[in-house]
Each structure stands twice: as structure tokens, then as C-alpha cells.
Amino acid sequence: MQKTISPIDGSVYVELEWATPAVIDETLDRARTAQRAWRNTSVEERARTLTRFCAEFASQRDEIARELTWQMGRPIRYSPNEVNGTLERARHMIAIAPQALADIDAGPKEHFTRFIRREPLGVVLTIAAWNYPYLIAVNSVVPALMAGNAVILKHSAQTPLCAERFASCLSKAGLPEGVFQTLHLTHADTDKVIRDPRIDFVAFTGSVAGGHAVQRAASERFIGVGLELGGCDPVYVRHDADIAHAIENVVDGAYFNSGQSCCGLQRIYVHERIYDPFVEGFIDLTRKYVLGNPLDESTTLGPVVRTAAADTIRQQIAASIQAGARPAIDESVFPVSKPGTPYLAPQVLLDVDHSMLVMREEIFGPVAGLMKVSSDEQAIALMNDTRYGLTAAIWTRDQQAALSIGDRIDTGTWFMNRCDHLDPALAWVGVKNSGRGCTLSVVGYEHLTRPKSFHLRTRT
């Protein structure tokens, strides 16, 4: 039995049965059969079906938002935004599908017709994480379906009802039976499904360790694997930044979703010319968060996902402090923050360096380290001094400087004067231990299809 414990109050929010071997086998067979028919539907028909899905999903916004808050603890004032973001991404990927999936003309050649066609891979297994349960899943689910694949969604045990919402809305939209299905799987059964020859691609979002496990399971087969993994993302607040704007956005980028974001800001490098006013404003704004029950509309910072996660984050903070970091936030300012609970105060660590955990590892909690730098060169070196590379950001008034510095940063996405955002028109991709493969944009479709060349000679 799979139990979802709500971080709000420690209650069991939902219980679901793990899929049995017979159910798994039937699901895989059904997906294989359904995909053969679905691939023969036109892109236009697929778009009509997925557009109806969007309408159905939008109609359930309030129920989805409340359910999401109960499952993973995000404040209810923010949860509807995930519905909005999911719809934005889905609608964009639907809109660009005709362009992204169109045949590629190889050019004129006498007596020949030549083109490249993008064919669906077959059955896509999406393994989604709990921290942005709809936004993560939609990145592969909608484009995979638009490309003519069948999809099986294995969602996190923390957010299983998100998978059920996808299934319900797609069914009501008229998607043929078997084209999209869900499985609630143990780790051992997930490994077996990845190894099954009826799976043609795996889209995984999770930890670096989880990514290695997925890659090992798929390594004996010649199938593609998309991996969106961890991050320890940096930001550089340059000497010419708009300080007030930078403070507002960087604080939000560090603590939104209680810091449980793979592209949240954790390493903050500030030019020495503006370091003092930036730090003062950063600390002041951080103290204004309202930590509490996420069902309360006044709450701006909810609990982390579980008590064990909070305990680990506290240990990582303590290790950084023991190494010389100076905490700027007195936890007593947030009386709800208590050991033995998932409620955790935001923390700002000063006097940090790269020997400390906060500047080396993904903490996945409401913690940020602030470090003074003296030049662009020093900032670039420090930003690249990591085994991760999902996103990085700069605050500056000089766009040319931002472009020049961005060219030298090892990252999948480079932001100027914003952070922690996915534009569905741009490729979402990581480097180093942040993963491989790509979702979103026209490029994302390349990973969910295979090229097939047509070389037709006309006899004369």
C-alpha cells in the first residue's frame, strides 16, 4: 500500500495500491496496442484532443490547487499558478507541434523526392517528481502525445493524485483508451518497467542518484533517456544592478516553494560595491516571510515536503555554520519553525566559501549563501565551480555584459534580471550533473521522435 503523508499535519492524505505484476503487464500491452493506432491520427486531431484536455484541466483549477497543497505543502495562495503554468506549456507545445513535426525537405534533386520524417518513438515512460508535480510531468506528457507516442506516467508517491488528474482530464478530452495510463510503482518495479522492451523512452526528473539508477536500468537497451536532475544554481548581482529589483527577485528565487526547486537560487555572488546594501535588504525581506499552514491564505512559506527532509536541511545548515558560515536569521523570528516538524525557517548564510555544503551541494530547502566578489572574472570562476549546471542568472543593466558573461557560464539556461522560470519556447536542458536531454521548445520534440529518411527515385 502506497501512503501519502501530508506535510501540513502529518496525516495520511491518500492511500493507493501498488500496481501488481499483472496490472503492469496489462498496462504495457495496452499502451503498445493503443500507440499503433494513435500514431496514425493526424497532428491536427491530436491537437484538438489535447486542447480539450487543457480546457478540462483549467475547469478543475481550484480542486487541483487544493489537492496539490495537501500533497506537497505549497501555500494555497500560489498553488493555482502551477495550473496556469501547466496550461501555458501545454498550449505552447500543442501550437508548435505542426512546425516541429513537419517533414524536412532535403531540397530539389532531379528525379528524386527526398525528405526526413519525424516518427514517434513508441511508448514513453514519464517518471515525475513531487516538487512541481504538474509542471514537470507536462514537459514530456503533452509533447510525447502530440508526437504520436503513448505515455505511461509514474508519479512520485508524494503526489500520486496528480497522475490521476492527468488521466481523468485526458479521458474526458476523448483521448483513446490506452494512449495515456498511470502506474503507481515501487522503486524495484520502476526498474523492471524501464528494462521492459515495451518501453521506448524514459523521461525522468529527480535526484542525481535517481538519474544514475534510471540510466543503469536502461543501459542494456538502446533507448533514449531524458534526465532532469539536481542543481545548485548561482546568481551574480553585478555592480550596476538595480539593487531593489535584484533583492526582490533573488529572495523569491531562493525561497519560493520553500527552496524545493532544482532551478532555485542557492549560491548568490554579490559585487563588493553593492554588497552591504544588498545583504541588508535581502535579510530584511527574508524576515518578512510568513511561515505557517499552507492552507492559510496569509502564508507565504509552507513546510518542506517531510520531516526527514527538514532534518537533513538542518544538518546541512549546521555543517556550513560549523565550517565558518554565519547565520543571519534567528529561527525564533519564525515560531512555527521547530525541530521534528517539516516547518523550517528560511536561512541566509554569510561569510561563506566553496568549502561549505551550502555552496557545493543541492540543499533543496529555504537556504541561501551570500558571497562577496570583486570582479566579473571572480564571479564567473565561482559560478562555474560546481558539478551542476541547470540555470544561472545575472542582475545587471548592461545586456552586452550579460551576454558576454553568459557565454562563459556552464549552464543550460542563462537569465538576465530574472530567475527560476521556464519559457516553453526555450529548450529546458542541463549540463554536468544536472542531466542530459531536452524538453520544451521545438528542440524538445527531437527527443520524443526519431528521424526517418525517405529517398524516392522516379524512373524516367
In this structure, is residue 421 part of a structural domain? no
pLDDT(420) > 90: no
In this structure, is residue 326 part of a structural domain? yes
Q: Specify whether 187 is located in the same domain as 274.
A: no
Over range 421-447, report the average pLDDT: 96
Q: Specify whether 81 is located in the same domain as 198.
A: yes
What cell was used for 226?
531524458
Catalytic residue among 228, 232, 419, 438: 228
Cα gap 343→366, rounded to integer Å: 11
Cα gap 276→273, rounded to integer Å: 8
In this structure, is residue 422 part of a structural domain? no
Backbone angles phi, psi at 386, to 5 degrees: -160, 155
Q: Specify whether 237 is located in the same domain as 302.
A: yes
What pTM value is reported for the model?
0.96
Backbone angles phi, psi at 33, to 5 degrees: -65, -45
Nearest CA among 187, 182, 35 for reference residue 123? 35
Question: Is 262 part of the annotated catalytic residue set?
Answer: yes
pLDDT(421) > 90: no
Residue 95 is part of a domain; what is its CATH number?
3.40.605.10
Q: Specify whether 272 is located in the same domain as 327.
A: yes
Question: Is 263 part of the annotated catalytic residue set?
Answer: no
Using an 8 Å Cβ cutoff, are 156 and 207 in contact?
Answer: no
What cell was used for 207?
535526484
In this structure, is residue 264 part of a structural domain? yes
Residue numbers of the domain that contains 387: 233-416
Using an 8 Å Cβ cutoff, are 235 and 370 in contact?
Answer: no
Nearest CA among 121, 140, 134 for reference residue 61? 134
Q: Specify whether 206 is located in the same domain as 238.
A: no
Q: Specify whether 220 is located in the same domain as 241.
A: no
In this structure, is residue 425 part of a structural domain? no
pLDDT(113) > 70: yes
Over range 365-391, report the average pLDDT: 98
Q: Kindly list the distances between the CA atom of residue 270 and the CA atoms of 114, 132, 147, 386, 399, in Å, as whole numbers in the listed order.
A: 54, 29, 44, 18, 18
Cα gap 428→134, rounded to integer Å: 16
Using an 8 Å Cβ cutoff, are 451 and 105 in contact?
Answer: no
Using an 8 Å Cβ cutoff, are 372 and 276 in contact?
Answer: no
Q: Specify whether 170 is located in the same domain as 300.
A: no
Over range 188-217, report the average pLDDT: 97
Q: Specify whether 108 is located in the same domain as 208.
A: yes
In this structure, is residue 151 part of a structural domain? yes
Q: Which residue has the cell 510525447?
A: 144
Q: Specify whether 224 is located in the same domain as 241.
A: no
Q: What is the pLDDT of residue 460?
A: 66
Q: Specify whether 146 is located in the same domain as 176.
A: yes
Q: Look up residue 376 and give its amino acid.
A: D
Per residue in 129-163, pLDDT (tens digit) is 999 999 999 999 999 999 999 999 999 999 999 99
Nearest CA among 76, 180, 72 for reference residue 132? 72
Q: What average pLDDT is seen over the chain?
A: 97
Q: How many domains does the chain have?
A: 2
Residue 268 is part of a domain; what is its CATH number?
3.40.309.10
In this structure, is residue 426 part of a structural domain? no
Confidence grade of residue 407 (pLDDT, cut at 50, 70, 90): very high
CA 105 to mean position of chain CA atoms: 34
Per residue in 320-370, pLDDT (tens digit) is 999 999 999 999 999 999 999 999 999 999 999 999 999 999 999 999 999
pLDDT(382) > 70: yes
Cα gap 404→443, rounded to integer Å: 24
Q: Specify whether 323 is located in the same domain as 297.
A: yes
Is the torsion defined by CA of 76, 80, 85, 86 positive or negative? positive
Task: Count Cα atoms within 13 angstroms, Cβ side, for 51.
Answer: 10
In this structure, is residue 147 part of a structural domain? yes
Buried/exposed code over 30-50 (b: 16+ C-beta within 10 A; e: otherwise)? bbbebbeebbeeebeebbebb
If DSSP states are collapsed to H, E and C, what string results for the chain?
CEEEECCCCCCEEEEECCCCHHHHHHHHHHHHHHHHHHCCCCHHHHHHHHHHHHHHHHHCHHHHHHHHHHHHCCCCCCHHHHHHHHHHHHHHHHHHHHHHHCCEECCCECCEEEEEEEEECCEEEEECCCCCHHHHHHHHHHHHHHCCCEEEEECCCCCHHHHHHHHHHHHHCCCCCCCEEECCCCHHHHHHHHHCCCCCEEEEECCHHHHHHHHHHHCCCCCEEEEECCCCEEEEECCCCCHHHHHHHHHHHHHHHHHCCCCCEEEEEEECCCHHHHHHHHHHHHCCCCECCCCCCCCCECCCCCHHHHHHHHHHHHHHHHCCCEECCCHHHCCCCCCCCCCCCCEEEECCCCCCHHHCCCCCCCEEEEEEECCHHHHHHHHHCCCCCCEEEEECCCHHHHHHHHCCCCCCEEEECCCCCCCCCCCECCCHHHEECCECHHHHHHCCEEEEEEEEECCC
Using an 8 Å Cβ cutoff, are 175 and 51 in contact?
Answer: no
Catalytic residue among 262, 263, 419, 438: 262
Q: What is the pLDDT of residue 459?
A: 76
Over range 194-203, report the average pLDDT: 98
Contacts of 3-6 spanning 24+ positions with Cβ under 8 A:
3/157, 4/71, 4/157, 4/158, 4/159, 4/160, 4/161, 5/306, 6/70, 6/71, 6/73
Per residue in 250-306, pLDDT (tens digit) is 999 999 999 999 999 999 999 999 999 999 999 999 999 999 999 999 999 999 999
Q: Specify whether 412 is located in the same domain as 360.
A: yes
